[in-house]
Chains A and B, each alone.
Chain A
Amino acid sequence: MRLHLGGHLAWYDPQKRSWLELPLPDPTSLVELVRQLRLPEGEIAVVAVNGRAARLEEAIVSDGDRVELYPPLGGGS
Chain B
Amino acid sequence: MAYGGTGKILRVDLTRASVSVQEFGEDLYRLYPGGRALAGYFLLKVPRGADPLGPANALVLAPGLLTGAPLSTATRFTAAAKSPLTGAYGESEAGGYWGPELRMAGFDAIVITGRAERPVYLWVHDGQAEIRDAGHLWKRDPEEAQETIRQELGDKMIRVLQIGLGGENLVRYAALVHELRHYNGRTGMGAVMGSKNLKAVAVRGSGHYLDLAHNPQALAELGRTLAKKVKEHPQSWDMQVKGTPMLVGGLNAAGILPTRNFRQGVFEGVDKVRWEAYEKELLTARRSCYACAVRCKREIAVNDRYQVSSSYGGPEYEAIAGFSSNCGVDDLQAVAKANELCGRYTLDTISTSSSISFAMECFEHGLIGLEETGGIELRFGNTDAMLKMIDLIARREGLGNLLAEGTRHAAEVIGGDAHYFAMQVKGMELAMHDPRGKVSVGLGYAISETGADHITAFHDTLFANPASITFQSAAPLGITEALPARELSSKKAAIYAVGENWSSLGRVIGFCYFGPAPRSFIQVDEVVSAVRAATGWEVTVQDLVRIGERATNLARAFNAREGFSRKDDTLPDRLFAPLENGPLAGVGISREEFEQAMTALYIAKGWNPETGMPTRDRLKALDIEWAADAMEAA
Interface residues in chain A, defined as those with a beta carbon under 8 Å from any beta carbon in chain B:
4, 6-12, 16, 18-19, 40-43, 45-48, 52-53, 68, 70-77
Q: Can you list 23 contacts pairing A with B, beta carbon distance less than 8 Å?
A: A7-B238, A7-B242, A11-B234, A16-B241, A18-B275, A18-B276, A42-B467, A42-B468, A42-B469, A43-B234, A45-B254, A45-B461, A53-B582, A73-B250, A74-B459, A74-B461, A74-B518, A75-B441, A75-B454, A75-B513, A76-B247, A76-B514, A77-B185
Contact B250 A76, beta carbon cutoff 8 Å: no
Give the complex CA separation of A6 and B431 in angstroms.
Answer: 22
Known interface pairs A12-B234, A16-B241; 14 further A-B residue pairs with C-beta atoms within 8 A, sorted by A's residue number: A4-B249, A7-B238, A8-B234, A40-B467, A42-B466, A47-B253, A68-B253, A70-B253, A71-B234, A72-B465, A72-B468, A75-B433, A75-B459, A76-B316
Contact with A along B452-486 (1 / 0, CB 8 A): 00110011011011111110000000000000000
Q: Which residues of B in the span 228-276 have a Cβ within 8 Å of any Cβ on A?
A: 234-235, 237-238, 241-242, 244, 246-247, 249-251, 253-255, 275-276
CB distance from B519 to the nearest CB of A (A): 5
Q: How far is the CA of A68 from the CA of B250 in the complex (A)?
A: 8
User: B318 within 8 Å of A by Cβ?
Assistant: yes
The distance from the CB of B52 to the nearest CB of chain A, in whole angstroms, is 24
Which residue among A11, A40, A48, A74 has the maximum number of chain B CB atoms within 10 Å of its CB? A74
List the A residue with the shortest CB-CB distance to B256: A73
**Residues in chain B near residue A68, CB distance under 8 A:** 249, 253
A76 pairs with B468, CB closer than 8 A: no
**In angstroms, how far is the closest chain B Cβ from the Cβ of A2?**
12
**Chain B residues, Cβ within 8 Å of A45:** 254, 461, 464-465, 468
* B317 sits at the interface (CB 8 A): yes
Which B residues are closer than 8 A to A by beta carbons? 185, 234-235, 237-238, 241-242, 244, 246-247, 249-251, 253-255, 275-276, 316-318, 431, 433, 441, 454-455, 458-459, 461-462, 464-470, 513-514, 518-519, 582-583
Residue among B244, B254, B469 making CB contact with A76, cutoff 8 Å: B244
Residues in chain A near residue B468, CB distance under 8 A: 42-43, 45, 71-72
Q: Which residues of the other chain, B, contact A10 by a CB distance below 8 angstroms?
A: 238, 241
Residues of chain B with a CB closer than 8 A to A43's CB = 234, 465, 467-469
Tell me the total A-B contact number using a CB cutoff of 8 A.
106
Structural contact, B237 and A6, CB atoms closer than 8 A: no
Could you tell me if A77 and B317 are in contact, using CB atoms closer than 8 angstroms?
yes
Alpha-carbon distance between A47 and B255 when the two chains are bound, in angstroms: 11
Q: B390 to nearest A CB, angstroms?
A: 19
Decide if B247 touches A75 in the complex (CB within 8 Å): yes
Quick check: A48 and B253 within 8 Å, CB to CB? yes
Contacts of A70 in B (CB 8 A): 249-250, 253-254
**A29 CA to B465 CA, complexed, in Å:** 21
Set of chain A residues within 8 Å of B467, measured between Cβ atoms: 40-43
Instruction: Compute how far the CA of A19 lies from the CA of B253 in the bound complex, rounded to whole angstroms.
Output: 16
B-side contacts of A16, CB under 8 Å: 241
Closest to B271 in A: A51
Given A41-B467, A74-B458, are A7 and B244 neighbors across the interface (CB < 8 Å)?
Answer: no
Q: Which residues on A sit within 8 Å (CB–CB) of B246?
A: 6-7
